[in-house]
Amino acid sequence: MLTLTELKLLWRTPAALFWGIGFPVVGLIVLGAIPGTGKPVKALGGISVLETYLPIIITFMIIMTSVNFLPSTLTSYRERGVLRRMFTTPVTPQALLAAEVAITFGAQIATGLLIVILAVGAFTASIGAPLAFIVSFLLLAAAASTLGLLVASVSFTAKAANALGAVLFFVLMFFSGLWLPRAEMPDWLRGISDATLTGSGVQAVQNAMAGHWASGLFFGVLVAWIVVCGALAIRFFRWE
Amino acid sequence: MPVIEVSGLHKEYGPKVAVDDVSFTVEAGEIFGILGPNGAGKTTTVECVTGLRKPDGGRISVLGLDPQRDHDELRQQVGVQLQDGQLPDKLRVREALELYASFYSQPADADELIKRLGLGDRRDTAFEKLSGGQKQRLSVALALIGTPKVAVLDELTTGLDPAARREVWGLISEIRDTGVTIVLVTHFMEEAERLCDRLAVIDRGRVIATDTPSGLAGRAGGEQYIRFTASGPLDEDELAALPEVHTVRQEGDQFALTGDEEALQAVMGVLIRRGIIARHLRLEQASLDDAFVALTGKGQ
């Protein structure tokens, strides 16, 4: 019931639907429709523009929902006493938290599926190692959501959460290769990117598309983000 | 057996003592007011009573339960309306009630409650589109959706316009008539005077008086203020000589007197004997306001 209600509320937030789901899907369609984006490019390590940007589009969608919308919703619930009110009922506010995370996860999986079906079905992308792809996707989503929970924990107001989320969004999207693909980054920059959750996430998804598991290092980075952000989020979380 | 028993409640936030020593009991079926100036410790007191905060000292029993130990059971039987507790903007009235109904083992009928609280035509209105009075009524509805035995309502009418305030007051009386015991936290004298059967006045973390509203008012000295315009010549000294009258002030044909509860009777006796009519007669009782100022030494 709680999850269903929160889902209805998400449905009534057009901005979240557009930026979180609509925009990445439209972005993919536009990219795929441009002639030549499906051809391998040497500068990108022998893969096509579409295949370079598919993981980045997926990452965009995940960061937008996990690091921007999730903390914004949670801090506004805290700020406005929604969590406090829930404390007085037989249901714990933890249930609300869980429902929010579940919805975010569900929306990401659904949108991810839509993006993959479009990219593979309508365009020329292929996913060589589906299992590696799924594991990479889920780890990336989990890392982003724990980072989002950390943002919610350290932000006193929804405004602060939005500001912090926006800054993180640009930093993380830069390292994912949105403006400068990872393959074109100088070594030192790619080294920093490797340590970010989006950099290693994109790499893991990319390798899975190419048909093999990424090096354990990238998965290690994602797991480290989950553990560190998770621990800090729990440490700093406040109900009111 | 009292529904709520609080004895020696103490709560500190760091170096700040929010509640020093608070004790009171609430009987079944009454509206019990907790009155006090802002920052007196009212909200902290009810937060401890409802188990939202862990007291640093003292004993609390609600329906025979310990708010900390029997947390889950208490939640089912105590409805709480918190100060500034809002809802998501896009949540609709009906959805909010159905959602909260799903939390309780024996929920009230959401539709019936909506009707009873006069929100029938707002059923599908989003929270953000409700007026202040409607938000408060929804808030009360959420406190009642679990069919509680006790409802705790904190600063229910703060920020409402007078009409909406009256509307919510009427509602509270009706709820009491259905057998729910109500704890009402307020800093409004008029609200306490109109609604409460008994009240505890809290100031600086301590209960400074517990009584009925009229009993408290009586503590301000039980004085009455009488004012009138005399239709004919009247001697100030004749009134001042009455044992029931304490002070008299005369300005032309206007008189202002203070006296005890029988002063009016005595003054009227004099006027009737003299064949004088008291025009523009006004009688004022010492109010809860006066009692409050006398007790706490502050004005509101």
Task: Enumerate the domain spans of chain A.
Answer: 2-236
Partner-chain contact B91 A5, CB within 8 Å? yes
- Burial of B244-266, coded b for 16+ CB within 10 Å and e otherwise, reads bbeebebeeeebebbbeeebbeb
- Asked if residue B276 and residue B134 are part of one domain, the reply reads no
Task: Check: pTM over 0.90? Answer yes or no.
Answer: no
Q: Return the pLDDT at B218.
A: 73
Give the whole-number percent of chain B exceeding pLDDT 90.
34
- Asked if residue B186 and residue B234 are part of one domain, the reply reads no
Give pairs for A49-54: CB < 8 Å, separation 24+: A50/A119, A50/A123, A50/A124, A50/A125, A51/A125, A51/A206, A51/A209, A51/A210, A52/A177, A52/A181, A52/A183, A52/A206, A53/A181, A54/A28, A54/A115, A54/A119, A54/A125, A54/A205, A54/A209
Partner-chain contact A77 B105, CB within 8 Å? no
β-pairing, B31-35 vs B181-186, is parallel
- Asked if residue B207 and residue B238 are part of one domain, the reply reads no
Q: Return the pLDDT at A199.
A: 93
* Distance separating alpha carbons of residues B188 and B185, to the nearest angstrom: 9
B82–chain A Cβ distance below 8 A for any pair: yes
Tally of domains within chain B: 2
- Span B271-291, mean pLDDT? 83
Query: Domain with B286 in it: what CATH number?
Result: 3.30.70.100
Q: Is the pLDDT of residue A198 over 60?
A: yes
Q: Is the pLDDT of residue A104 over 80?
A: yes
Contacts of residue A1 in chain B, CB cutoff 8 Å?
98-99, 102
- In this structure, what DSSP letter does residue B85 have? -
Q: Return the pLDDT at B220.
A: 63
- Asked if residue B285 and residue B204 are part of one domain, the reply reads no
Q: Return the pLDDT at B300.
A: 41
Choosing among B53, B83, B86, B92, which should be mutated to test the A contact, i.e. which has the most A CBs within 10 A? B86
- Asked if residue B83 and residue B125 are part of one domain, the reply reads yes
Average pLDDT, chain B: 87
Residue of higher predicted confidence among B157 and B228: B228
Distance of CA B190 to the CA centre of its chain: 7
Q: Is the pLDDT of residue A3 over 70?
A: yes
* Distance separating alpha carbons of residues B150 and B153, to the nearest angstrom: 10
CA distance to A86, A100, A226, B104, per residue, from A71 (Å) = 18, 10, 16, 28
Query: Domain with B203 in it: what CATH number?
Result: 3.40.50.300
- Asked if residue B204 and residue B58 are part of one domain, the reply reads yes
- Asked if residue B130 and residue B46 are part of one domain, the reply reads yes
Which of B185, B211, B237 lies at the terminal end of a domain, its last residue?
B211
- Contact status, residue B62 vs residue B1, Cβ threshold 8 Å: no
Which residues of A, range 53-92, sit inside 8 Å of B by Cβ? 77, 80-82, 84-85, 87-91
- Asked if residue B235 and residue B205 are part of one domain, the reply reads no
Q: Return the pLDDT at B288.
A: 72
Q: Is the pLDDT of residue A201 over 80?
A: yes
**CB nearest to A84's CB, from B75, B82, B105:** B82
Which of B211, B246, B278 lies at the terminal end of a domain, its last residue?
B211
**CB nearest to A88's CB, from B52, B91, B99:** B52
- Asked if residue B162 and residue B115 are part of one domain, the reply reads yes
- Span B84-92, mean pLDDT? 87
Q: Is the pLDDT of residue B298 over 60?
A: no
Instruction: Please name the helix (run of DSSP H) or strand (run of DSSP E) that holds residue B148, with its range, or none.
Output: none
- Contact status, residue B65 vs residue B49, Cβ threshold 8 Å: no
- Asked if residue B89 and residue B71 are part of one domain, the reply reads yes
Q: Return the pLDDT at A12.
A: 85
| Residue B297: both structure tokens together | 């030494």
Q: Is the pLDDT of residue B2 over 70?
A: yes
> Among A185-199, B90-104, B159-173, where is mean pLDDT lowest?
B159-173
- Span B105-120, mean pLDDT? 87
- Span B254-273, mean pLDDT? 88
Q: Is the pLDDT of residue A219 over 70?
A: yes
- Asked if residue B242 and residue B157 are part of one domain, the reply reads no
**How does pLDDT run across A39-77, given as a tens digit for each residue?**
888 777 778 888 888 999 999 999 999 999 999 999 998
- Asked if residue B248 and residue B111 are part of one domain, the reply reads no
Q: Is A66 left (phi over 0), alpha (psi -120 to 50) or beta?
A: alpha
Domain holding B246, by residue range, is: 219-296
Which of B141, B176, B211 lies at the terminal end of a domain, its last residue?
B211
Contacts of residue B103 in chain A, CB cutoff 8 Å?
89-91
